[in-house]
Chain A
Amino acid sequence: MSAVLLEARAIGKRFGGVQALKDVSLTIREKEIYGLIGPNGAGKTTFFNVLTGLYTRDTGDVLFAGQPLELGSPYVVAQAGIARTFQNIRLFGNMTALENVMVGRHVRTQAGVFGAIFRTRAQREEEAAIKRRADELLHYVGIAHRAGALAKHLSYGDQRRLEIARALATEPKLLALDEPAAGMNATETVALRQLIEGLRADGLTVLLIEHDVKLIMGLCDRVAVLDYGEKIAEDVPAIVQRDPKVVEAYLGGGAND
């Protein structure tokens, strides 16, 4: 059993009268694909947003790679090594695919105004390295031929891939994918599955929110189930699948409830 990469402890988040997350604790181990599932409105995306610093949490804390993770500022989370994609793809639509990935290198590079204005040797070298790396990543996700196209002109599947490439550009240890297969057809989903398996083979840990049960069950090492903001199950897919609480959450309780 490999080492723990991320440990979330008793995460809570409330929006007005709605308790979106309640004492959610989970552990993600290195190099595993960890699925987070649950009915609509169960709090999956809220958990993502808390974890990646877009929302501030009410309670709980997160240990990442042995260090407490300062939540609440997304760029610090990115710096620590967590990158994410969005459920409703958020690319920089009017930048090219290559530029989108280059933006992802921002957090691992440092050239500032001075370097830019005087075109110092360090700045030029860094800029060339950024471009090289971005090129590599576009190859990696398989859309290198679209490098010069505007992000918003890419096909839906390619946009998903581009978002993953941009996330990878930040050199994450943990890649959090929010419903990457949403809206994809069967062929695209198979290709996505291969991509995610490739990521794991290359040593990355993946946190996956997904509705496609087949994808989750086939891909994930372990799965956690959220319902009404609470974790109701966490185990390997085969066991979770048969958990009565999970079945109830998805299909509803008996007729006499």
Chain B
Amino acid sequence: MNRKIVGIALIAIALLALPLVLTQVGTAWVRIANLAILFVFLSLGLNIVVGMAGLLDLGYIAFYAVGAYVYALLASPHFNLHLPFWVILPIGALVACVAGAVLGAPTLRLRGDYLAIVTLGFGEIVRIFMNNLSSPFNITNGPKGITRIDGLSVGSVNFSATDTLFGLSITGPAKYYYVLLLLLLLVIVVNLRLQKSRIGRAWVAIREDEVAAKAAGINTRNVKLLAFAMGASFGGVAGGMFAAMQGFVSPESFILNESIMVLAMVVLGGMGNVWGVIAGALLLSFVPEFLRYSVEPLQMALFGRMLVEPEVLRMLVFGIALVLTMRFRPAGLWPESRHKREMGQKP
């Protein structure tokens, strides 16, 4: 027991000190850490839909977009609205939640491949909407996107500027890091508690055998909609934070590739297991960044010129990682104990 507490304390200290260390390496790394946390958010949201309820959703990024645009519209000069973030984030979560239910409703009778195709279509529809909702009324400002979005601020503390605290200078990204860390803790607790509840059991039951779940008295329609809505609301919060951190949103941030990326994180990490999903998200967020910073100097040193762009290499590495996962650990790197048995791996 004592050991556990010490372990948790060490992890907590490491997480708290991380931005201060990363700042020494370069502020860019703090931003990368922030984006990684956002991807953890997204993966945990998608894990509810794909991992627990077993509904293959390829358009999940749409809810990230919805959250981001809600934030952008309510806190920017675009409509001249400047609501505080603690009002907008819940609104963003709620709007994404409703969007999740609305987009989920037509897919209730679909399974497997068909569900994947339809959700993929919905994801694209949302993005194209954002792209075209600039006339006759300019709502989203089209492909140009929305700029000068307010950052987070509490009282006189502006999260986008550097402050000095106890002689330590804390940069904007570092401040966001702490907010994200707090939100992440919340999201993890929510995820774990849902998993071990009546609702979580119903989700897994639907994944296991939908007909039996119905016969056992589960209102599968509502329970599936709930999975879509809960998953989407996580995406909505992540989108809101994304908009606040970047200060800019445009439709091209929410392409299909991003949906696939989040799905890859869930699958690679281990569907259904919260910790596996977190590991998957962190891994797939950081690896490309390491590539970005190491590939170029490495090639320059070896060949004297760039042979392979880091971007190309990134997709190659992802592809190989997924193929290897499917071959050697089909249930993911750190699977839910149930999935592990399902996929026939030795526990």
Contact = CB atoms under 8 A, between A and B. Distances in A.
Contacts of B342: 93-94
Given A94-B341, A106-B201, A119 B215 contact: no
Contacts, number: 106
Contact of B198 (A92, A95, A109, A117): A109
Contacts of A83: 215-217
B197 A123 contact: yes
Contact of A106 (B193, B194, B218): B218
Contacts of A237: none
Interface stretch (A34-42, A62-70, A74-82): A74-82
A52 interface: yes
Most buried by A among B194, B200, B201: B201
B125 interface: no
Interface string A72-105: 0111001100011010001111110001001111
Query: Is the interface on chain B under 10, 10 to 19, 20 to 34, or 35 or more residues?
Result: 20 to 34
Interface in A191-229: none
Interface residues of A, number: 42
Interface string A148-189: 001000000000000000110110000000000000000000
Contacts of A166: 216
Interface in B297-312: none
Contact of B197 (A84, A95, A127, A167): A127
Contacts of B230: 113
B338 interface: yes
Most buried by A among B193, B209, B217: B217
B215 A78 contact: yes
A67 to B, nearest CB: 17
Contact of A107 (B190, B193, B211, B218): B218
Contact of A79 (B194, B202, B211, B217): B217
Contact of B217 (A90, A104, A127): A104
A116 B196 CA distance: 8
A54 B197 CA distance: 26
A115 interface: yes
A102 B196 CA distance: 12
B220 interface: yes
Nearest to B218: A106
A111 interface: yes
Nearest to B210: A90
A16 interface: no
A17 interface: no
Given A86-B212, A94-B338, A94-B342, A103 B218 contact: yes
- 6 nearest A-B residue pairs (beta carbon): A107-B217, A78-B217, A116-B197, A92-B208, A90-B212, A74-B214
Given A78-B217, A90-B215, A117-B189, 16 more contacts: A75-B214, A93-B342, A95-B201, A95-B338, A103-B218, A107-B216, A111-B197, A111-B198, A113-B199, A115-B197, A116-B193, A116-B194, A116-B199, A150-B341, A169-B216, A170-B216
